[in-house]
Structure 1
């Protein structure tokens, strides 16, 4: 029995229907894990905050983030998927010690982000049921443990993130329609913006594809046993669909908030701007819808951040590899404990988390592009498409420019 079969507990399919389902679920699971990892409490806060500040001009920032996301993820998924090696393993083979550095950075970023995810889950249940956010965080952590302590947790992740992602998408679409945003203005300023905010672009790039999010879907694909040059088509299509799902969700949320702020309403950007937007658009029902969206976003991000963060350190210990579900569970508990001791995560920290992820993004992506360009041996002899290298290098240059320009503004958020 293969490693994947041992982990998932999946027996060989005995029917065409079973084979079809078993092939599709891991692909949709990887798409959902990538997209929902990018759509956490920080995602909601960042989008609402910058839409309040920039109005329709923020649509240009979203366009840049989607294009950069596409350039990065198409390359990251292909390099990791074809090689069959996780990002830190590839970095270690390019330069000894670099994999350890990348693992530490991604692990720390994942821990910081996950505290925000746990806090967001608590706030989501507070909106829905009036629970103390701390109890909401504990309940969400307990639900996450139910998933990760199960020997079939890889399959359960797929069956959890996919429906929750669809719920978020549907409810946000509903609020976007109700808020009646000025779509014509948004469309115009997508290409001809009144103003360009580098901090906003770097933050949403970091919150969409930076830090652990860069590798969430690709590492999940490896865990499901999908790798090698023969799987290139599946890998390429899945990565593109993941970027598309993330982009659609961000634009829907942007339009929902834009419809509110275009009426002159002012959101409380120091507390919970996204909640204000949903309530202004659809009243008390909208506020409850926000609670569902926030909790679903937080829960799926807890799953994505925890799984991906541990995937970066489990390669250094056979004991961790053999008990990966237990290690992920311990990670979730640690994040919840720190949240309970430190209190609720403020909006500024959520925005800073996205910005910081954007600053560290170029490091891992540089390794990816070097392998695509020069290390065919790590790609099992696969001939990498030149057009994709050009797209990736362009994305890498943009990510470095954004990181340099936004370095001071990102850290100024903590002052």
Structure 2
């Protein structure tokens, strides 16, 4: 319905060919997107800006959640209805544009993955006292094992889901033992006394910018969920993922705000760890180690899967076997390069905040491409994209372009 059958049949189903229901695949996509959105970068960014802005940062969280709904619903729908990956869609919008988009997403994903690997390594450092560099090597090895086993997508989905529940459980515990200023948080979230565009660009870019906005859509079509007939699974998956990510964002913000309001000053070298240490002492600090390791691992999987999916231009059937053959090497190379850079360079906290801002600049570009595609019959056939998604999508593009430019100007 509303698709080009030839194009749909040309899509390679990479890594594995699991026999799973569309709903099961959609849930896998939901957790992959949600956990990619709340990785070490989000922990660091949220703690940093909460320490700087206090309750006013709640407004940035609110904007992020609203933008998350608009971006993910647009991106997932257009990718699944067209049956093609975003880079192929971009090339159909304008020849060569897909290569530019791939470069932006893959390079941004690589830099983000340095922080992801580093975050997982720091988590193991907190838990067991090993060096962050050696912890990063262990985390990278675990990720590689998950990707190279048989039915890698299924294993990845299950791993991400388990770690998601670990994240939520830890944050609920921290909120339970803290004195949370709910009234102040609600008041400043909806009526902020200060608006910082850099924080908005960074937090939005770190949660729906760059590779993250495409992780769910690409996971769906690699799982065989394509075409207008699967819109209901797109809606279920996207809204589930947004809901999970939003709960974690709000819980972490409230935990950070509780610590800031209590008068503690967060450690700039590891602001997220400060929250848990002040909240529950050494026990809370160990909990943070588990959370950081879980966040790092889920984001390594999401970043690697999505970034390497942008290196696939084998959209013709004769190229499928070639891409199947080399994808594992792309995955291995992506993880190894990220780990080596962290091992010899380090400093993931600054990298994560900077790359979040950089991905915020990529978001208006990538969303513009897909919104243009939503009006092309050559790409989506007879499918009619909802007007509310189109209009709200353009509103996000304009706001993020404005906020990005304002952020750049503010640096000079």
TM-score (norm 2): 0.93
Identify the structure with bigger relative contact order (alpha carbons < 8 Å, sequence gap 6+): 2
Alignment CA distance shift 1:365-1:349 (3 Å) = same
Instruction: Specify the alignment match of 1:38 in structure 2.
Output: 37
Instruction: Specify the alignment match of 1:307 in structure 2.
Output: 305
Could you say what secondary structure the match of 1:227 adopts? coil
Instruction: Specify the alignment match of 1:250 in structure 2.
Output: 249
Give the distance between the partners of 1:199 and 1:96, measured in 2 at CA.
Answer: 33
1:233 is displaced (CA, Å) by 1.2
Give the distance between the partners of 1:376 and 1:292, measured in 2 at CA.
Answer: 48
Give the distance between the partners of 1:23 and 1:383, measured in 2 at CA.
Answer: 22
Given that 1:121 and 1:298 are in contact with CA atoms closer than 8 Å, whether structure 2 keeps it comes out as yes
Find the partner of 1:328 among 327, 331, 339. Answer: 331
1:5 is displaced (CA, Å) by 8.1
Given that 2:18 and 2:154 are in contact with CA atoms closer than 8 Å, whether structure 1 keeps it comes out as no
Find the partner of 1:355 among 357, 360, 364. Answer: 357
Instruction: Specify the alignment match of 1:277 in structure 2.
Output: 275
Give the distance between the partners of 2:381 and 2:164, measured in 1 at CA.
Answer: 34
Give the distance between the partners of 1:196 and 1:9, measured in 2 at CA.
Answer: 47
Give the distance between the partners of 2:18 and 2:53, measured in 1 at CA.
Answer: 49
Give the distance between the partners of 1:132 and 1:162, measured in 2 at CA.
Answer: 27
Instruction: Specify the alignment match of 1:179 in structure 2.
Output: 178
Root-mean-square deviation (CA), in Å? Answer: 1.8
Instruction: Specify the alignment match of 1:50 in structure 2.
Output: 49
1:325 is displaced (CA, Å) by 2.9
Structure 1 stretches of 5 or more lacking a match?
A: 12-18
User: In the TM superposition, what are the counterparts of 1:83-102 in structure 2 within 5 Å?
Assistant: 83-102=82-101
- The C-alpha deviation readout for 1:200-219, integer Å capped at 9, x for no partner, is 11100000100111101111
Could you say what secondary structure the match of 1:43 adopts? helix
1:9 is displaced (CA, Å) by 4.9
- The C-alpha deviation readout for 1:268-290, integer Å capped at 9, x for no partner, is 12x10010110100111100000
Structure 2 stretches of 5 or more lacking a match?
A: 1-8
User: In the TM superposition, what are the counterparts of 1:139-150 in structure 2 within 5 Å?
Assistant: 139-150=138-149
- The C-alpha deviation readout for 1:240-291, integer Å capped at 9, x for no partner, is 221221111111000011111101100012x100101101001111000000
Instruction: Specify the alignment match of 1:379 in structure 2.
Output: 380
Q: How many equivalent residue pairs?
A: 398
> Which 4+ runs in 1 deviate beyond 6 A?
2-6
